[in-house]
Amino acid sequence: TQLLEQSPQFLSIQEGENLTVYCNSSSVFSSLQWYRQEPGEGPVLLVTVVTGGEVKKLKRLTFQFGDARKDSSLHITAAQPGDTGLYLCAGVWSGNTGKLIFGQGTTLQVKP
């Protein structure tokens, strides 16, 4: 069974602080996605990483895929209250017909 361990599960910080969310697995994933979800809505795709060692930036968000394609991180610089939400990593395991395996999620609260 492929599992994605996401940490931390809850994070409450002040506006302007930096934070990092981690996603780890013992399995090699063919790709990994990061989503953000608002209460009562579906997840919205932020980024997809495919290549080991890949780094992608989306404004103040930096995503990294581990060299071995078993782990990933999301770093937010100078967090703002608008960043508040549930962040989810999800991996596609090669050979599982495209099923997404989700991490436990990280609930982020950024206080003004």
Partner 1 sequence: GAVVSQHPSRVICKSGTSVKIECRSLDFQATTMFWYRQFPKQSLMLMATSNEGSKATYEQGVEKDKFLINHASLTLSTLTVTSAHPEDSSFYICSASATTGVQFFGPGTRLTVL
The residues that touch partner 1, with contacts defined as CB under 8 A, are 6, 35, 40-45, 48, 86, 88, 90, 92, 97-105, 107
Determine if residue 64 is left, alpha or beta; phi over 0 gives left, psi from -120 to 50 gives alpha, anything else beta. beta
Closer Cβ to partner 1, 64 or 107, answer by number: 107
C-beta of 97: minimal distance to partner 1 in Å?
7
Q: For partner 1, which is the closer residue by CB, 67 or 88?
A: 88
For partner 1, which is the closer residue by CB, 35 or 76?
35
Output the smallest distance, CB 112 to partner 1, in A: 22
Q: For the chain, how far is it from start to end, CA to CA, in angstroms?
A: 41
CB 104 within 8 A of CB 22: no
Q: How far apart are CA 65 and CA 22, in angstroms?
A: 10
